[in-house]
């Protein structure tokens, strides 16, 4: 049977905040845009974001995008690119207003303006008093934003391919991307979507770690597809462990709890954060708080019978604040931790949360790779935005509330840039049959009959190796062993066999594809981490405890082909203001 | 713990059937954890799930006769054998996976987006905390479908009756002080089916895992219509 084909101006893979905000710009400009998502769009993980999105609206206390920029550069441990950061912090303001105009039900202040709460790492006046920069719809901001963007895309008549799984990018001999091979999950049938331009907006990869705050679907598919198309992944060693996951489960308890006045205590009931961050205390940057919790537990000051967690107190805030500002978190804590935060503290421990690294792009969302001569160049027809991309605005550590901002600003910027790209490239390039054949081979990859390793078994083993060897403790020996184990797991992937080989809604098959993707991405994380011999932001090495700006103020690039690493300079020059030079980072 | 699970694979089975499974239940386990354990026993068992914390709306199923989200349903609350079936009244694709397209069609039919006719200000459209409060209990809907698939009126007329989810959404926009299309919205809901097939049976309220109240929203729409007609 001939392979079914569809043609669009733009193909967007991923229907989270990044994909949908890009799609909206394109659909509003009357481009033919297809959005492919492996789950129904409002099930995308953006829906889970609780706390809010940063923008210097100054609705509560004085604020400016320049202060926001300073905090973001400092939070990134100076690894963020300052041109992109300036762009994001400036664009934050119109982006949030646009969301509001589109219908997002933000919480409100008495004067009718958008409610903003305090979040970690935020300051006024370049490191002064705490700022209140995080725009919130109670503690369901991601839900409110994602549903609104989906609704606006319905209005704009975007083409949705719901429950279609993207298998592989299609490219030609010049490296230009021509679309993607996808699979309709309900029927198991392949479909080739040809597009003049393709945007990867596939979100994060938190599932590579065993204990994480991410959804089952966050498996790094887009990153792995990019890797296989010859694109490197940037800064993959920087993985954020959120300080307050529900102990033993990993579900997130948002920073909003501390933003509203909650704080952490150890087994002696001591509020310990002032010892680690005298000024910002519980609202220090996430890497700082996570390390403090781990240090407390290691020093024997953890809570519970096993002394393996700390407590997050919010009961002093009173019933009303908890009910009004943190209703969703309260419900989660009751269901998953069995505690009502309005009455008792919540047991918490750091959980794998967010990948700072990803597919390298410029601030227009164009995917860029090192060129043989001169600086980097854009891959024709390929864009990336959202958590799967690395612009890089988060550098070595992301601030709370800056990811929703990242996905929205750069999703929008990519959409707008694509409109220009389509003007300049009005025709489809000829299809490349070799690339289609390779993608089809991948599509058929898990169809061999016979006995083999079950997907679930290898997946579990892989996640454990990642947690033990590329998690919070990163010494030379531990990581080297991890890389070897990952190589062995990568080889055993070929021995994976499905017992279920039916076509219709075969979730085992999807999990096999996802596992293959996670292993590619996991290798990027482990290898990049093992090579970076310094401590910076979320990447913390007991054997190299200091930041080393002389040798390591640079981005790493991991190439799948031959497991190669390369490096490129950090862009320290902003667009219009003075650069923030690296300084010691204290909170 | 004993489970009886609805199974149907159109590639292999002529008829759906119930299959027994034994799951090692531990304290604090949710129904989704049990379904995942069943999947490791039989990888061919299919169901939707993702966030694991009741926010994405993927894993609505019918458990011991009631529609629930598997990921926030503690096993401790369930009687054995736990009978797990797909949502009632929807075509089954495979095992617990049903075709929800009519449900989403009804959602789309109520024009679920903010309609603004005035020029937009250069900052946010102002809204008082009281006006914003009217959206509480409405905007939180996660489109899980627990309500509409437990509504007898929706079972009989899924193509013509909007169902509780879509009507809740219709009210979410009617209730928004920023929306400027109330008349069109109300006109669209006229006729014997779209809205008026609701007989206030309240199954929807009982089923909603987010504690939303579609019946009240439907009542509010009816009141508003009445007010407009006089
Ligand atoms: C629990 C939690 C709370 C958070 N809270 C906050 C917060 O308060 N503030 C903040 O700024 N950030 C927060 N974050 C981070 C932020 O929510 C995410 O980084 C962001 O939402 C990612 O958006 P995205 O659009 O890049 O991807 P996602 O929303 O993850 O969407 C990815 C999309 O890609 C699709 N997809 C993936 N692979 C494939 C494939 N192979 N084929 C087809 N489709 C595919 C998926 O179906 C989905 O539609 C939080 C994260 C978590 C986990
Ligand atoms: S109250 Fe109306 S919408 Fe709800 S279940 Fe009954 S008939 Fe359906
Ligand atoms: S109203 Fe409740 S039950 Fe119905 S779809 Fe929304 S969240 Fe689910
Ligand atoms: S898995 Fe998301 S609601 Fe249950």
We report the CATH number of the domain holding residue A329 as: 3.90.700.10
Domain span including residue A276? 248-350
Query: Average pLDDT in the B104-119 region?
Result: 97
Looking at CA atoms only, how far is residue A496 from chain B in angstroms?
13
Quote the pTM value. Answer: 0.95
Q: What are phi and psi of B63, to 5 degrees?
A: -115, 125
Mean of pLDDT values over B81-87? 97
| Structural domain contains residue A70 | yes
Does the ipTM exceed 0.95?
Answer: yes
Domain count, chain A: 3
What atom of ligand 2 comes closest to residue B167's alpha carbon?
3
State the number of CA atoms in the 13 A half-sphere of A17 facing the CB.
30
Domain boundary among A350, A372, A404: A350
Cα distance from A246 to chain B (closest Cα, Å)?
Answer: 12
From the CA of A405, give the closest atom in ligand 1: 11
**Closest Cα to atom 2 of ligand 3:** B208
Residue A514 lies in a domain: yes
Residue of B nearest to A108 (CA): B129
Distance (Å, whole) CA A475 – CA A540:
9
Burial class (CB in 10 A: 0-12, 13-18, 19+), A172: middle
CB of B215 within 6 A of ligand 2: the answer is: yes
For residues A559 and A359, what is the distance between their CA atoms, to the nearest angstrom? 11
Residue bearing the bigger pLDDT, B25 or A388: A388
Mean pLDDT by 10 residues, chain A (587 residues): 92 98 97 98 96 97 98 96 98 98 98 95 94 95 98 97 98 95 97 98 96 94 97 97 90 89 95 94 89 90 92 93 89 89 93 96 96 84 98 95 98 98 96 95 92 94 93 88 96 94 94 98 97 94 93 97 95 96 88
Three-class secondary structure of residue A412 per DSSP:
helix
Q: Is the CB of A152 under 6 A from ligand 1?
A: no
Residue nearest (by alpha carbon) to ligand 1 atom 5 = A49
Give catalytic status of residue A490 as yes or no: no
Q: Considering the domain boundaries, does residue A78 fall inside one?
A: yes
Please report whether residue A561 resides in a domain: no
Distances (CA, A) of A441 to A15, A181, A224, A445: 26, 11, 16, 6
pLDDT attached to residue B27: 80
Q: Where in chain B are the domains? A: 2-98, 101-229
B-chain residues near A339 (CB < 8 A): none
Which one, of B2, B87, B11, B1, lies nearest residue B47 by Cα? Answer: B87
Q: Do B43 and A100 touch (CB under 8 A)?
A: no
How far is the C-alpha of A558 from the C-alpha of A235, rounded, in Å?
8
* Nearest Cα residue to A258 out of A283, A239, A231, A225: A283
Compute the distance from residue B145 Cα to the ligand 3 centre, in Å: 6
pLDDT higher than threshold 70 for residue B62: yes
Look at B129 and A40 and tell me if their CB atoms are within 8 Å: no
| Domain final residue pick, A138, A165, A196 | A138
The number of the ligand 4 atom at minimal distance from the alpha carbon of B55 is 3
CATH number of the CATH domain containing A450: 1.20.58.100
A540 in any annotated domain: yes
Task: Choose among B93, B131, B142: nearest Cβ to A504.
Answer: B93
Cβ of B111 and A39 within 8 Å? no
Q: Tell me the CA–centroid distance for residue A525 and ligand 4, in Å.
A: 28
pLDDT at position B187 is 94
Please name the fold of domain B101-229. Fumarate Reductase Iron-sulfur Protein; Chain B, domain 2 (1.10.1060)
- A260 lies in a domain? yes
Nearest CA in chain B to A502: B11
Residues of A in contact with B72 (CB under 8 A): 335
Indicate which residue's Cα is closest to atom 4 of ligand 3: B147
Specify if A355 maps to a domain. no
CATH architecture of structural domain B2-98? Roll (3.10)
CA distance B112 to chain A (A): 6
How much is the pLDDT for B28?
82
Per-residue pLDDT tens for B156-188? 999 999 999 999 999 999 999 999 999 999 999
Mark which residues 101-130 of B lie under 8 Å from A by CB. 104, 108, 111-114, 116, 120, 122-129
- Tell whether A449 is covered by a domain: yes
Q: Which two tokens stand for residue A63?
A: 């604020």
């Amino acid at each position: 049977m001939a392979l079914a084909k569809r043609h669009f101006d733009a193909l967007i893979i991923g229907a989270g905040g990044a994909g949908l905000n890009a799609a909206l710009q394109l659909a509003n400009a009357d481009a033919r845009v297809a959005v492919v998502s492996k789950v129904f769009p409002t099930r995308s993980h953006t829906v889970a974001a609780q706390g809010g999105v940063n923008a210097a609206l100054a609705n509560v206390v004085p604020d400016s995008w320049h202060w926001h920029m300073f905090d973001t550069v400092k939070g990134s441990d100076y690894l963020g690119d300052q041109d992109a950061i300036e762009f994001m912090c400036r664009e934050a303001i119109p982006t949030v207003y646009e969301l509001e105009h589109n219908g997002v039900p933000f919480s409100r202040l008495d004067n009718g303006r958008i409610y903003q709460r305090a979040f970690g790492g935020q300051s006024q006046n370049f490191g002064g008093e705490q700022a209140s920069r995080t725009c919130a719809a109670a503690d369901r901001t991601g839900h409110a934003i994602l549903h609104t963007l989906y609704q606006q895309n319905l209005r704009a008549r975007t083409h949705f391919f719901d429950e279609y799984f993207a298998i592989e990018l299609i490219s030609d001999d010049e490296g230009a991307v021509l679309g993607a091979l996808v699979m309709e999950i309900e029927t198991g049938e392949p479909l080739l979507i040809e597009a003049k331009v393709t945007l990867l907006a596939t979100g994060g990869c938190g599932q590579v770690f065993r204990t994480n705050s991410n959804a089952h679907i966050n498996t790094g598919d887009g990153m792995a597809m990019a890797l296989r198309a010859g694109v490197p992944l940037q800064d993959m060693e920087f993985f954020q462990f959120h300080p307050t996951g529900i102990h033993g489960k990993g579900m997130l308890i948002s920073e909003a709890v501390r933003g509203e006045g909650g704080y952490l205590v150890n087994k002696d009931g001591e509020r310990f954060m002032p010892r680690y961050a005298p000024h910002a205390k519980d609202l220090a940057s996430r890497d700082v708080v996570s390390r403090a919790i781990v240090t407390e537990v290691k020093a024997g000051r953890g809570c519970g019978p096993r002394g393996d967690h700390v407590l997050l107190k919010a009961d002093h805030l009173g019933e009303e604040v908890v009910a009004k500002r943190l209703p969703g978190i309260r419900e989660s804590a009751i269901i998953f931790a069995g505690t009502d935060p309005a009455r008792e503290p919540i047991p918490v421990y750091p959980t794998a949360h967010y990948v700072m690294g990803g597919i390298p792009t410029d601030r227009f969302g164009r995917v860029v790779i090192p060129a043989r001569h001169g600086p980097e160049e854009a891959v024709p027809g390929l864009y990336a935005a959202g958590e799967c991309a690395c612009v890089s605005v988060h550098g070595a550590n992301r601030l709370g509330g800056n990811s929703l901002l990242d996905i929205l600003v750069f999703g929008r910027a990519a959409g707008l840039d694509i409109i220009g790209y389509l003007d300049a490239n009005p025709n489809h390039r000829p299809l490349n049959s070799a690339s289609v054949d390779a993608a089809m081979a991948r599509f058929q990859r898990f169809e061999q009959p016979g006995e083999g390793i079950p997907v679930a078994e290898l997946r579990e083993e892989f996640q454990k190796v990642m947690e033990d060897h590329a998690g919070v403790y990163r010494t030379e020996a531990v990581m080297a062993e991890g890389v070897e184990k990952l190589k062995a797991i990568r080889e055993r992937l070929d021995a994976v066999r499905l017992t279920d080989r039916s076509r219709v809604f075969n979730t085992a098959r999807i999990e096999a594809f996802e596992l293959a993707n996670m292993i590619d991405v996991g290798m990027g994380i482990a290898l990049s981490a093992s090579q970076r011999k310094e401590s910076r932001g979320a990447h913390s090495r007991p054997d190299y405890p200091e930041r080393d700006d002389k040798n390591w103020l640079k981005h790493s690039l991991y190439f799948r082909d031959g497991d190669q690493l390369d490096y490129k300079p950090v862009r320290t020059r902003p667009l219009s203001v003075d650069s923030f030079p690296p300084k010691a980072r204290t909170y | 713990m004993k489970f009886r699970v609805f199974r149907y694979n159109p590639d292999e089975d002529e008829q759906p059937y119930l299959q027994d499974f034994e799951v090692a239940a531990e304290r604090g386990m949710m129904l989704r954890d049990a379904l995942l354990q069943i999947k490791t026993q039989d990888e061919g068992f299919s169901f939707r799930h993702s966030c694991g914390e009741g926010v994405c709306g993927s894993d609505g199923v019918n458990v011991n006769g009631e529609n629930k989200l598997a990921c926030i349903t503690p096993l401790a609350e369930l009687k054995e054998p736990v009978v797990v079936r797909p949502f009632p009244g929807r075509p089954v694709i495979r095992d617990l996976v049903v075709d929800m397209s009519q449900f989403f069609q009804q959602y789309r039919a109520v024009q679920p987006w903010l309609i603004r006719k005035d020029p937009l200000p250069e900052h946010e459209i102002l809204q008082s905390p009281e006006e914003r409060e009217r959206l509480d209990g409405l905007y939180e809907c996660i489109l899980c479908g627990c309500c509409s698939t437990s509504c007898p009126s929706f079972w009989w007329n899924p193509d013509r009756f909007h169902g509780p989810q879509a009507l809740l959404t219709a009210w979410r926009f009617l209730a928004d002080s920023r929306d400027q299309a109330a008349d069109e919205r109300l006109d669209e809901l006229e006729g014997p089916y779209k809205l008026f097939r609701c007989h206030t049976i309240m199954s929807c309220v009982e089923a909603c895992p987010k504690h939303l109240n579609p019946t009240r929203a439907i009542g509010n729409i009816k009141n508003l219509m009445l007010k407009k007609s006089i």
